[in-house]
Amino acid sequence: MAAASVSQSKLSRGKPDLYLISEEDTVYEQDILRHPGTIRPWLAYIEFKFQHGNLHEQAYVLERATRQLPRSYKLWKMYLNLRMKHLGKLNPAIFKAEYAKVNSLFERALILLNKMPRIWEMYLSFLLLQPLVTFTRRTFDRALRALPITQHNRIWALYRPFANSASGQTAVVIWRRFMQVHPEDAEDFIELLVEMGHYTEAVQQYMNILNNPKFRSKNGKSHYQLWSEMVDLLVEHAKEVKTGDDVGIDVERTIRSGIERFADQRGKLWSGLATYWIKRGSFERARDVFEEGITTVMTVRDFTLVFDSYVEFEEAITGALMEEAAVRSEKGVVDESADFDLDIRMMRFEQLMDRRPFLINDVLLRQNPNNVPEWNVRVGLWGDNKKEVVKTYTDAIAAVQPKKAVGQFHELWANYAKFYEKGGDLRNARVIMEKAVKVPFKSVAELADMWIEWAEMELRNENFDEAVKIMAKAVQAPKRSTVDYFDETLSPQQRVHKSWKLWSFYVDLVESVSTLEETKKIYERIFELRIATPQTVVNYANLLEENKYFEESFTIYERGLDLFSYPVAFELWNLYLSKAVDRRISIERLRDLFEQAIEGCPPKFAKVLYLMYGNLEEDRGLARHAMRIYERATRAVSDDDRAEMFNFYITKSASNFGLPSTRPIYERAIATLPDDEARDMCLKFAEMEKRLGEIDRARAIYGHASQFCDPRTTPSFWQKWEAFEVQHGNEDTFKEMLRIKRSVQAQYNTDVNFIASQALARSQQQADGENGEKSADAMAALEREARAPAGFVPASTGPQGGNIKEPVVAANPDAIDVDGMDDE
């Protein structure tokens, strides 16, 4: 490399190193002479030297070529690459001179090739290897000035890492220039500024990008995240960041704007603003911020955050003052002003802790001033402080909008009146009550409760007549009111006279403190307004009954029955008829009542009424009348109760007229009831005939019942018939029973409704492993049996190997040996 430098210097003086030219180079030298302005001979010559020459010869040829053709980008690039390659492993500090020579070579190349960005990139990359900060920075600046702006990105790709490594003011100056053309990289610049401690400029950069609506974060950060990072920087470095109009930074205004804009972060921002003033040493301003924060936040979460920071701040200040006081005490120094300041701060801290429940309550009421339960909580917090309690009640009544109230607004009014009542000031309590009943509550029920509260207050103070007057005023209404209780377009005051709750309390009150006539008037008024409930009817009737007005009591039941339909009417009839029967009025009248009751009665409720009716006839009338009633009941009751009604009817008929009288009942029951219940009825019928000795009638009944008794699903029926025939029959009757059984089975085999159940029975038998063989398809087997003659039993397997086997008949353990009976 030293020889290459010597050759370069000699060439510069016009004295070529002829010893570097061999005989083999003659061809290339002559070609260059023939074509002095062409690059092709030089490239061939250089290629030859790269393959056969040494470093000195290569550098010699390239030096000559670049002097001959100084505008050739290709020759310069080859030359510069060659020189840089052989310096790549040398220390730039030790071989400073050699590096300087290559720098000079780059400067020569850039004289004519200063618009070539690749040459600049090579030069700048080479300079970055050398400890030449100022020269490198200036070279970067030259490159930016020389190249068009469209190619600056290639230079900045090297310039930014250089700036970061150079650090200090150099880096800041370079980045400022870069930000003029690439503002989208502001986040990287801010990161650099923070690392270097330029906090004020970092904040200014944050403000620039936040004020730029077109800015988009390369890291995907939102506008709030960037703003939050700026606030954190302002708070964390409160002393280092300069503020004022000259730098355009107003920390308090910035954070307060965020408090207004970001409602869900108010707690954090209030704490941040207070922390900012604490770090600046402005403790009183910090305390003012804390106070403003805890009295304006809207959520308990934000309040807890600000309050905890406030408490921590006060504890730190108080702790520091207590340490100072301890030191003074040890030294025996007396400082009354410092001790007084400590006492004040401790008192302030205690007051802050005492205020906490009130402050939380304030937060909840700021969220929703219509929150009635929280107003009641606030009243409870004041305890025995009567002045504040009254003020709280007054504020609550003024703040709560009745139609938007959460909770029972009337309770607030009632508690307000009770407060004066407990204090013995009944006059003010009545004034409050009188105002309360004029409030347009959210519902009629609340207004009714308010009137009742007023009346109960008078009762507690033993003003019974006043309580009655209040209730009379509450229910006052036109003689014929057409108001709809559920009409929300009317105020509660216009509808409250139709409140059942109000009338119920009123009638109970009058009943306990007034005469029967007054009570009857109120009940009559309830009926006039058509707001009576089933309970009203029962209560009114019971009241008249207790006072021996039995007929009027019955009249009330009848009026109630006019008002209500089933199922309510059933309960009223039940009570009415029971009372009438117990009263033992004439049998004709009772029959009329029962007839009215069962007329139009739904089948679901008919059973009880018919049983009561029949019982009446049994006790005071004729048994035959009772039987007719029970017979009517079997037609009138629901399907679920019909079988039970037939059984009851049969029992009563048998007890009154003997077993034979039940035959027509059994027959009609069997004809009326569904198959399952008819089968049970047939069994009872047959048993009754057997008891009477009517064996043939019993057998006929079994035969009739067999038509709806599938031997596979109801084997118990056939077992009972078989036992009956064994006990009372003969061979013919038994064979007839078996014939009927087979025919019934065949009938059910061909019935689609029973194929599934038969297949299920077969599958269960196969599961038990009785035969141990695989069965054929269940449906196919059923079809074969249906086509076979009655009584035919198919062989277990088909013919095999041409040998015909006797069919194997399954043995029936319940079969009777008829031949044996003949032998005997």
Complete DSSP assignment for 599-658: TT--HHHHHHHHHHHHHHHHHHS-HHHHHHHHHHHHHHS-HHHHHHHHHHHHHHHHHHH-
Q: Are 99 and 130 in contact (CB under 8 A)?
A: yes
Q: Which amino acid is at 358?
A: F
Q: Quick check: is 694 in a domain?
A: no
Q: Quick check: is 447 in a domain?
A: yes
Q: Are 391 and 397 in contact (CB under 8 A)?
A: no
Residue where the block lists tokens 């009633």: 629
Q: Quick check: is 448 in a domain?
A: yes
What pLDDT is recorded for position 3?
A: 41
pTM for the full model?
A: 0.64
What pLDDT is recorded for position 794?
A: 38
Nearest CA among 137, 126, 139 for reference residue 92: 126
Output the domain CATH number for residue 431. Answer: 1.25.40.10
Q: Are 339 and 325 in contact (CB under 8 A)?
A: yes
What pLDDT is recorded for position 569?
A: 78
Q: How far apart are CA 413 and CA 150, in angstroms?
A: 79
Name the stretches of the chain with pLDDT < 50: 1-4, 6-7, 9-15, 769-824
What pLDDT is recorded for position 753?
A: 54
**Element of type H or E holding 506:** helix 500-513
Q: How far apart are CA 273 and CA 256, in angstroms?
A: 8
Q: Which amino acid is at 171?
A: A
State the Cα angle at 278 between 277 and 284, rounded to 5°.
75
| DSSP character at residue 402 | G
What pLDDT is recorded for position 301?
A: 92
Tokens standing for residue 149: 């702006």
Buried b (16+ CB within 10 A) or exposed e, 427-453: eebbebbeebbebebbbbbbbbbbbbb
Report how many domains make up the chain.
Answer: 1
Q: How far apart are CA 37 and CA 382, in angstroms?
A: 106
Domain span at 442: 397-479+490-531
Q: Quick check: is 732 in a domain?
A: no
Q: Which amino acid is at 455?
A: A
Contacts for 122-131: CB closer than 8 Å, 24+ residues apart: 122/77, 122/80, 122/81, 122/84, 124/155, 124/158, 124/159, 125/158, 126/84, 126/99, 126/102, 127/103, 128/158, 128/162, 129/92, 129/99, 130/92, 130/96, 130/99, 130/103, 131/92, 131/93
Q: Quick check: is 519 in a domain?
A: yes
Q: Quick check: is 814 in a domain?
A: no
CA distances (Å), 56 to each of 1, 20, 86, 363, 630, in order? Answer: 7, 8, 12, 88, 137
| DSSP character at residue 473 | H
Nearest CA among 123, 131, 186 for reference residue 154: 123
DSSP letter for each residue of 95-139:
THHHHHHHHHHHHHHHHH-TT-HHHHHHHHHHHTTSS-HHHHHHH
Q: Are 256 and 270 in contact (CB under 8 A)?
A: no
Q: How many other CB atoms are found less than 10 A from the CB of residue 280?
A: 15
**pLDDT, tens digit (0-9, with 9 covering 90-100), for 24-50:** 777 777 888 888 788 888 888 888 888
Q: Quick check: is 445 in a domain?
A: yes
Q: How far apart are CA 183 and CA 207, in angstroms?
A: 13
Q: Quick check: is 101 in a domain?
A: no
Q: How many other CB atoms are found less than 10 A from the CB of residue 220?
A: 7
Strand partners, 244: 249
